[in-house]
Amino acid sequence: MVINHDFYMSLALKEAWTKQGLTYPNPAVGALICNKEGKILAIEATQRAGQAHAELQACISAFVQMGDTTIASLHDANAQHAYLLNNHHHKFEGCSLYVTLEPCHHQGRTPACSMLIEKLGFSKLICGTLDPNQQATGGINALRESGIDIETGILQEECETLLTPFRKWQNNTPFIFFKLALFANGVYDGGLITSKESRTYVHALRNNIDLLVIGGETVRVDRPTLDSRLVGGKAPDILIFSHEKEFDQTIPLFAVPGRKVFIEDNLDRIKSYRFVMIEGTQKMLEATQTLVDWYCIFYAPTIQTGKTIQFNKDLKRIQLLENKHDIIAWFQKAQ
């Protein structure tokens, strides 16, 4: 059987994008395991910081497919890692592992993925791109020296794009994305636009960001809370971008404990944070267009009359996802 590396890597990439923004400060990574006949055993992505990396998560799912369900009851990455090492019984021999990023080669909050891959006896590792984190890199060289067949650079450009936020965090510079919710024809007003599933994802993003930026007019009109209650998460700090400094203090966002709220007529505050989300409409788009790295746009599958968004920059779509109700598109500025 001819194995199409691009096909398998594209599936790993797609899975990684479902966790984009949710793994901070770690990168979003996807992994896929197939047997020697090319049958897919698992497609997984890195979980939250401190939980299983994509490679470990894929090994767990594959192991369950192979008939061992005990590991599914373990929820600590270190325990999962140890269980696989002690109970794999050579079931991964002949298998190939596709991963969007070089397996880590150091002990952090979780064990080194490179060691796990070697001990489980994978026959082949196919990697998208090398790890820019000098503390974690080295997995490819170590695995090659152990005798595993290695191929690198598969869909490298796409895997590099996936890493854009992580590279900025590694350089201690903010990664900034703009979140929009639109009807299918670009209309942004008219009350709730997207499904609860999409709103839950936005709350999960808020749970990971450091700072949320919003315009003063939106705060006054919508009277938002801007927390992460749908996922039981934390509330990010808020920067209200406004020339008018007086706000009704009964607006819910001011009553959220543990957060800082800044009201400023400039965006310099963003430089003090690493992971920043901006919410707003046309005026905020125009005010932040030189700062934004990516745009995350949620499209509802309906058309409605009303005000529409006009982008002042050409954008290139870098990923398209969908849930049961909406489409989620990530864009970056066109080169």
Catalytic residues: 55
Residue 67 CB-density burial (10 A; 0-12 exposed, 13-18 middle, 19+ buried): exposed
What secondary structure, in 3-state letters, does the chain show? CCCCHHHHHHHHHHHHHCCCCCCCCCCCCEEEEECCCCCEEEEEECCCCCCCCHHHHHHHHHHHHCCCCHHHHCCCHHHHHHHHHHHCCCCCCCCEEEEEECCCCCCCCCCCHHHHHHHHCCCEEEEEECCCCCCCCCHHHHHHHCCCEEECCCCHHHHHHHCHHHHHHHCCCCEEEEEEEECCCCECCCCCCCCHHHHHHHHHHHHHCCEEEEEHHHHHHHCCCCCCHHHCCCCCEEEEECCCCCCCCCCHHHHCCCCCEEEECCCHHHHHCCEEEEECCHHHHHHHCCCCCEEEEEECCCCCCCCECCCCCCEEEEEEEECCCCEEEEEEECC
In a 13 Å sphere around the CA of 177, the CA atoms on its Cβ side amount to: 22
Angle subtended by helix axes 77-87 and 113-120, to nearest 10: 20
- The Cα 17–Cα 254 span in angstroms is 32
Return the structure tokens found at 263.
Answer: 């009201």
Q: Using an 8 Å Cβ cutoff, are 285 and 178 in contact?
A: yes
